[in-house]
Structure 1
């Protein structure tokens, strides 16, 4: 049974449940709402992490950058890009472009955390959690903005996004 068949007036609740969880194809009606939820989660994560830098004090972020061989002069620019990019992703404004650009930040975090090991619960935090966010954000690059976006175009082409 497909989702479309289950939507018929005579469909029972168990039939709808079976259709939702056994359908291997993308549901064109509901997928955009799932992408929206992913976009909200990724956007909020970027905003919170940017604001956390100021809450801890930018000197802490500068020291972390220096410890990892990155110039501390990038502390305020990284804060700004994370905050603006997080807001843009959250609102669905150039979602694919901002997500693709911020993948660079996540790739650097995975690279920096690599020697610590897989588990994020390791001392110094491993690369498990940053890799998860990198893959989640890659899904946004591929899927676009989803529902309730300020910008409905994909940005990388002329398709929906």
Structure 2
């Protein structure tokens, strides 16, 4: 039984749950809400990540950039782009474009963290969490904004 058949037949909750796990296709009714949750979590994460730089002091971020061979002059521009991109993703405004653009930032973080190893709990933090963030954001780029977006997913 598919999810649609279970819904149409007014099946009980266990029947609908069983149908959900047997169905490998995308649920067109609920997928936009899943994307909405993904979009909200990623947008919020970008904002927290950006303002963490300010709370620690931008000189700390400048030093981190310099330590990894990136000019410290990019500290404030990266902060600004993370804030603008985070708000845009959060609101669903040009979600795919902003998420795609910010993938560059995540790829750089994974590249920088690669020598530390996989585990984010490693001293210096590994690439485990940045890679998860990168893959989740790539999914958003591919799938679109989801529900409650300022701009539709077809953008």
TM score, norm. by length of structure 1 = 0.94
Structure 1 partner of 2:133: 133
Across the aligned residues of Structure 1 and Structure 2, the Cα RMSD in angstroms comes to: 0.9
Once structures 1 and 2 are overlaid, which stretch shifts more, 145-154 or 119-128?
A: 145-154
In structure 2, the residue corresponding to 1:7 is in which secondary structure?
A: helix
- Alignment size in residue pairs: 155
CA distance in 1, matches of 2:124, 2:46: 20
Question: Structure 1 stretches (4+) deviating beyond 2 angstroms?
Answer: none
Unaligned runs of 5+ in 2: none
Moved more, 12-21 or 55-64: 12-21
Find the aligned partners of 1:8 and 1:115 in 2 and give their Cα distance.
Answer: 53
Q: Distance in 2 between matches of 1:82 and 1:114?
A: 22
Name the counterpart of 2:79. Answer: 79
Q: Gaps spanning 5+ residues in structure 1: where?
A: 156-161
In the other structure, the counterpart of 1:154 is: 154
Q: CA deviation at 1:121?
A: 0.4
* 1:63-101 superposed Cα distances (whole Å, 9 cap, x missing partner): 000000000000000000000000000000000000000
In 1: Cα distance, 2:9 partner to 2:28 partner:
20
Contact kept, 8 Å, 1:100 with 1:141, in 2: the verdict is yes
- Whether the 8 Å CA contact 1:106–1:131 is kept in 2: the answer is yes
Q: Does 1:8 align with 2:8?
A: yes
- Cα shift readout 1:84-142 (whole Å, capped 9, x = no counterpart): 00000000000000000000000000000000001000000000110000000000000
Partner residue in 1 for 2:94: 94
1:29 aligns with: 29
